[in-house]
Chains A and B, each alone.
Chain A
Amino acid sequence: MALVKYNDRSLRNLTTIPAAAGGGDTGALVHIKTLTASNDSTLAFIHGTNDVVLDNTYPIYIVKIINLFSHTDDRAVLLNFTIDGTNFNVTKTTTFFRARHNESDSVAGLDYRTRADLAQSTSGQEFVEGFDGEADANVNSTIFLYNPSSTTFVKHFTMDTQGTGNGGTNAQTSTNAFVGGYCNTTSAVTGFRVEGSSTTISGTFQLYGIKDA
């Protein structure tokens, strides 16, 4: 067996250490996976696929979506969940309210949107109503998904989204949308998908877990 010698320099050059020694993420917010959509119809995070973890490893998961872009103007982009890794059609009940203000100052206000909420629906949940499709438009969102692996409780989630919405007007509209709700299932949620409604999407998607210990 060849003799391997270690010295100070080799230790100084370490860039990773085993997880058992505290290597990898050292904080409570653990980056799990970043996926990028580039003019794609959908983008999915499924437990066990592409190194994605979405099980009882963490009690809370966070998804940060940055520069989500619809390649077609005034289209919805939707969030849905799966319990089997294949079908994204979990029954959901949600609320949706938003603040919005357009650049021409003709629309400004806070309202609850019955058009965008869900009542025991398997349809996808909208982020904002109608993405603006101009080249510099984009949407950013933070999603919290609570204890998806529970087989006792429904699975709550919230979405806090800020984006450039079409807003039903011809002017770009700053839209801050708040969604809260639950997947009305006691089966474990094992994945989620973001999908364009008659559009393709681009953007960066970061999945994190929050440690409970």
Chain B
Amino acid sequence: MAIRTAVNRALTAITALPTAAALVDGNLTLLTTATASSSATLDFTSSIDSTYKSYMFKFYDMHPATDGVFFHVNFRDGDTAYDATKTTTWFRALHSEDNSIANLTYDAAYDLAQSTSAQRLTGSLGNGNDESISGELTLYNPSSTTFVKHFIYRGAAYFNVNGAFDIFSAGYCNVTAAIDGVQFTMSSGNIDAGTIKMYGVGPKQ
């Protein structure tokens, strides 16, 4: 057998690694993908722990089965129910296709004050074939047992009376128990289609 010698140059020339080598894989690490197909809920029940300081949910083309419903999120704090107590804010810009509506509004009907209800992430959605909602939600340090758990959201959605929503919602789960699950639903009817990806943000802790 021929003797192979390894020199520094051989190592610096490596361009691919064995699977077993646990390398840094960037600072937005895809953990889970959930795809809706006439789904009542999309639940994330694993990998939400102390591995990362924050978690990001990116969702796109979320399409309701029913017209005029709202896209929702809720959080699980240790048992099976998605009912963490929340205080939140909600405001949005709206512009209709016919130019008759164009404004920026805080909507007190959509925020929450110490409520276990789901948080609305949209105004009234359209369910036309080309209508959907896309957005991004970040959840900070869900495994903390010291602090309340803040989250922040921004989404772009299709208004069911034909227009564009730009929606901002943020708040906190007012619990010191760890948040270990996140659930997305429509206020009525199924999530007909859509994709949600959950990422860990930053280096592993």
A interface, CB within 8 angstroms of B: 4-6, 11-18, 20-31, 34, 64, 66-67, 69, 99-105, 108-110, 135-140, 142, 160, 162-164, 172-176, 204, 206, 208
Contact = CB atoms under 8 A, between A and B. Distances in A.
Nearest to B139: A140
B185 interface: no
22 contacts: A11-B18, A12-B21, A13-B20, A14-B17, A17-B17, A17-B23, A21-B12, A21-B15, A26-B23, A27-B28, A29-B26, A29-B28, A30-B27, A64-B202, A66-B54, A100-B89, A101-B108, A102-B113, A140-B152, A176-B168, A176-B170, A206-B202
Nearest to A66: B53
A120 to B, nearest CB: 27
Contacts of A17: 11, 14, 17, 21, 23
A66 B151 CA distance: 11
B141 interface: yes
Given A21-B15, A136-B146, A162-B152, 9 more contacts: A4-B6, A13-B21, A99-B106, A101-B87, A105-B114, A108-B108, A109-B108, A162-B150, A162-B171
| Leading 5 A-B pairs by shortest Cβ distance | A27-B26, A105-B113, A99-B89, A110-B106, A176-B170
B22 A25 contact: no
Contact of B104 (A6, A20, A110): A110
Contacts of A138: 147-148, 150
B101 interface: no
A21 B91 CA distance: 46
B190 interface: no
Contact of A67 (B13, B14, B114, B147): B147
Contact of B141 (A27, A66, A100, A103): A66
B94 to A, nearest CB: 14
A210 B193 CA distance: 32
B1 interface: no
A200 B137 CA distance: 30
Nearest to A20: B12
Given A25-B27, A176-B168, A101 B113 contact: yes
B130 interface: no
Interface residues of B, number: 53
B174 interface: yes
A67 B172 CA distance: 12
Given A20-B12, A163-B150, A172 B87 contact: yes
B201 to A, nearest CB: 7
A101 to B, nearest CB: 5
A135 B156 CA distance: 35
B140 interface: yes
Contacts of B112: 101
Interface in B6-38: 6, 10-15, 17-18, 20-28
B96 interface: no
A11 to B, nearest CB: 6
Most buried by A among B25, B53, B111, B140: B140
Contacts of A21: 11-15
B90 interface: yes
Contacts of A16: 23
Contact of A24 (B14, B15, B18, B24): B24
A103 B88 CA distance: 9
B176 interface: yes
A108 B111 contact: yes
Nearest to A22: B15
B39 interface: no
A12 B20 contact: yes
B143 to A, nearest CB: 11
B106 A162 contact: no
A139 B140 CA distance: 10
Contacts of B14: 17-18, 21
